[in-house]
């Protein structure tokens, strides 16, 4: 069984349009684990979910991101995420000013 953090991050990144490989890279999970989380989720058939509904789901996930004590469910992993659904295939963007790859473009 996967942690709430793993499932939360996977759901958000998947609904945003990120690939399973990108999600695995950012969550530290094996790609097979990401596939399993997605397969068992209500959102496994992402392409069948209308864009406006995907955006509403992302907004709903963002609304519950922080616990009552102010800590985030994702442990800060999604701090740089733009919370927007992207229609094109996910890709990692390297920002020259940053020392890491951003997931905000997923």
Q: Tell me the per-residue pLDDT of 16-67, one tens digit each, with 9 for 90 and over.
A: 999 999 999 999 999 999 999 999 999 999 999 999 999 999 999 999 999 9
**Which value, in Å, is the radius of gyration of the alpha carbons in the chain?**
13
For the whole prediction, is pTM greater than 0.85? no
What is residue 86's predicted lDDT score, i.e. its pLDDT? 82
What is residue 97's predicted lDDT score, i.e. its pLDDT? 36
Residue 69: strand, helix, or coil: coil
Tell which residue, 7, 51, 56, has the closest CA to residue 29: 7
Total domains present in the chain: 1
What is residue 87's predicted lDDT score, i.e. its pLDDT? 63
Q: Count how many Cα atoms sit within 13 Å of the Cα of residue 18 in the half-sphere of its side chain.
A: 32
What is residue 49's predicted lDDT score, i.e. its pLDDT? 93
Q: How confident is the model at residue 103 (pLDDT cuts 50, 70, 90)?
A: low
Q: Is residue 11 within 8 Å of residue 43, measured between CB atoms? A: yes
- Structural domain boundaries enclosing 13: 4-102
């Amino acid at each position: 069984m996967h942690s709430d953090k793993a499932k939360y991050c996977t759901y958000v990144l998947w609904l945003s349009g990120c690939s399973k490989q990108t999600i695995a890279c950012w969550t530290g999970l094996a790609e097979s684990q990401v596939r399993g989380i997605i397969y068992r989720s209500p959102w496994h058939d992402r392409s069948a979910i209308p864009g406006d509904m995907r955006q509403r789901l992302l907004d709903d996930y963002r609304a519950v991101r922080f616990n009552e004590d102010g800590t985030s469910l994702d442990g800060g992993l999604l701090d740089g995420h733009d919370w927007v659904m992207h229609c094109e295939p996910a890709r990692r963007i390297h920002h020259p000013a940053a020392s890491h790859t951003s997931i905000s473009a997923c």
